Amino acid sequence: MREAIGRAGLDDEVLACRDDLSCGPIATDDPAERAAWWAHYHDDADDGHLALFWERVTGTNDRLVLWTSRLCAQEHASFLACVDRLADRPYQVIDVTLGNLRVSHLRAEGLHPLIGSERPLSATTRTQARECWRKLKAENAPFRLNTPDGLVSAPIDCFDAFLLQRTPIEGERIIRVVSEVTGIDAEDQVGNGLLVARVVALVEGGQLVADGAPWDWIKTRIKRPSQEQ
């Protein structure tokens, strides 16, 4: 994004949200709660970065442009959260959904032509987005997934069937299983870390067997229990 902005001859600041709001608790807007939850999965979880992002987004007087795609759960969730927090503040949006694109998939050469295409949201769209996010916050589910009807709440085990299906009877390394699920069954819906956590839960629940520590997802292999063979 920074390279694309530079190519356009601009020096706009890029504010990157390091949080993935498509998963985890969202009932409150407390960055410390989010960081505490992420600390279960990442050693470097830091509420300072999250707090600074929201302070800059909601406190800036500069021109603000939100980039998003409704095809990516993380981008869509962050967009809805921004719309809710910004309320009636002026800002514009570049939504790449109609091009069947995801902002996070685009390199500088793909982002550059889109600069200048930003448009304001209508009052109706703002209201709908805020209502959607507040409904999701009230439900406070473990996951939020993209569907043809928009972002919806989903239970903690919503990806378990895919993980079990992608685990061959003879066994495979966790990284291969998780990569297949994220690349095929759950594309743009969930990150690797959360799927590894679900593998750990399935191992602990006896639905998968691991030949080592399941958190060591690069080396450890998993397979289905022998009674399923």
pLDDT at 41: 80
pLDDT at 229: 44
Enter the pTM of the model.
0.89
Block means of pLDDT (10 residues each) for the chain, 229 residues, are 94 91 94 88 76 93 94 95 95 93 94 95 96 98 92 96 95 96 92 92 96 94 78
pLDDT at 228: 47
- Structure-block tokens of residue 149: 């009807």
Contact status, residue 103 vs residue 68, Cβ threshold 8 Å = yes
pLDDT at 103: 94
pLDDT at 40: 83
Q: Rounded to a whole number, what is the distance in angstroms from the first to the last CA of the chain?
A: 49
Which long-range contacts (C-beta less than 8 Å, at least 24 apart) are formed by 51-59? 53/15, 53/16, 53/17, 53/18, 53/19, 54/29, 54/85, 56/15, 57/15, 57/82, 57/85, 57/86, 58/85, 58/86, 58/89
pLDDT at 93: 97
Contact status, residue 147 vs residue 136, Cβ threshold 8 Å = no
